[in-house]
Amino acid sequence: MNSNNPKDQKSSKSNPTNLQVLYEDNHLIVINKRVGDIVQGDKTGDTPLSEVVKQYLKEKYNKPGNVYLGVVHRLDRPTSGIVLFAKTSKALPRLNKLFSEGNTRKIYWAVVQNAPRDQQETLTHWLVRNPKQNKSYAHDKEVPNSKKAVLEYRLLKKLDNYYLLEIDLKTGRHHQIRTQLAAIGCYIKGDLKYGADRSNKDGGIHLHARSLELEHPVQKEIISFEAPPPDDPVWNACL
């Protein structure tokens, strides 16, 4: 059986038996991605979450042959949280359109080292991606090859050594949250690439796709999902 409890498989990668399924119907399946899962295949050759979900569906429904699954959006490997997949070819282009046009509401949680400069603020930067470094750089003004990035954060909680921010992501750029928070000195816990003091033991970072709201691609009603963060002392202190 799949598990919706993140405590069941602490910091292990997802597989068909421990998959954290948040929601499923005929057209969609929503997963709580673990740290270390890759959403789609890459040069590492590691089994991607998309293949794990296919295998889960194949076993659950005793499906012969190939299982259809469409990748709608991605999360960085070291992050956790909500990933939505399309189960039908009817749903995929409609979901792609919702995401590309920004007609979804994506809320993230980030645990950061330093206090933000305000309790709540909208950040606007222009990001330039460096593919060789797999890193993005934030600029205060538009520069060549840059893309506008907008997010709104608010301080949810002060922990003993960290701060919990809730982020309403307005655009979907490469490493956007990591880059923009680093630009204001709020380095995400564990994110060495963007300025954190030290790495996390599991190789992850404390960035979690907490909730997603959108219009159902077929039924046309508004649906929303919420994912519990991973089971570790810092995330547990946030709840």
* Catalytic annotation, residues: 76
Residue 172 φ then ψ, to 5°: -120, 80
Q: How many CB atoms lie within 10 A of CB 174?
A: 18
- Burial (CB < 10 A; 0-12, 13-18, 19+), residue 19, is buried
Token couple for 24: 């499923």
- Other Cβ atoms within 10 Å of 117 Cβ, number: 9
Cα–Cα distance, 167 to 162 (Å, whole number): 16
| 214, 103 contact by CB (below 8 A) | yes
Contact present, 53 and 29 (Cβ < 8 Å): yes
Q: Which two tokens stand for residue 18?
A: 């421990």
Strands 80-86 and 207-215, by their bridges, are parallel
Q: Which helix (H) or strand (E) holds 155?
A: strand 147-158
Burial class (CB in 10 A: 0-12, 13-18, 19+), 222: exposed
